[in-house]
Amino acid sequence: MSAKSTVRLQREPFDVAAEAAKLTRGRTDVGAVVTFTGICRGDEAGEPIAALTLEHYPGMAEAEIERHVAEANERWPLMGVAVIHRYGRIAPGEDIVMVATASSHRQAAFAAAEFLMDYLKTRAPFWKQVEKSGGISWVDARQADDTAADRWRTPRKPQAAE
């Protein structure tokens, strides 16, 4: 099975619908596309924020995401994957990250999208800074994100098709 994958880091906004459409264009074997979009919220811990600024480690961020896309392809029968992550300054309401996965059935597409997001949050070298009226501070890593990524460590077989 050939799964085409796109991994891209960029400052500019992306178009989720256009990226998802690319996964099915010209083929009729895809039965499910799952897209996840991470969006900049306008508040953090009840306080309004002006913006997030994302720093990343160029080269490693792409490599780390590509490693996880390759792992997702080994674990699930995927027909296409797109991961796009923005960096730089992002205002509330703007998209930060998107993951789209295509497969013949929904289980693989859902599971792979969740797996990729869980790993992206804990293993891809990005760091968020938050601007509030009181100043700028680094966002702390959340234990819940580590826990979410850890649950994939128990090897699972791809689910049987519905």
Partner 1 sequence: MKLRYFAWVRERIGKPEEDIDIPANVTTVGQLMAFLATRGEEYAHAFDNPKVIRAAIDKAHVNGQASIKNAGEIAFFPPMTGG
Binding residues (CB under 8 A) for partner 1: these are 38, 54-57, 59-61, 63-64, 85, 96-97, 117, 120-129, 138-142, 145
What's the token pair of residue 122? 């804990």
CB of 129 to partner 1, least distance (A): 8
**Three-state SS at 63:** helix
CB-nearer residue toward partner 1: 72 or 79:
72
Q: How far is the CB of 113 from partner 1 (least distance, A)?
A: 12
Query: Least Å distance between CB 128 and partner 1?
Result: 5
Sign of CA dihedral 140, 143, 149, 155: positive
Nearer to partner 1, 50 or 141 (CB): 141
Nearer to partner 1, 26 or 93 (CB): 93
Q: Rounded to the nearest 5 degrees, what angle is found at the Cα of 97, between the Cα atoms of 94 and 99? A: 135
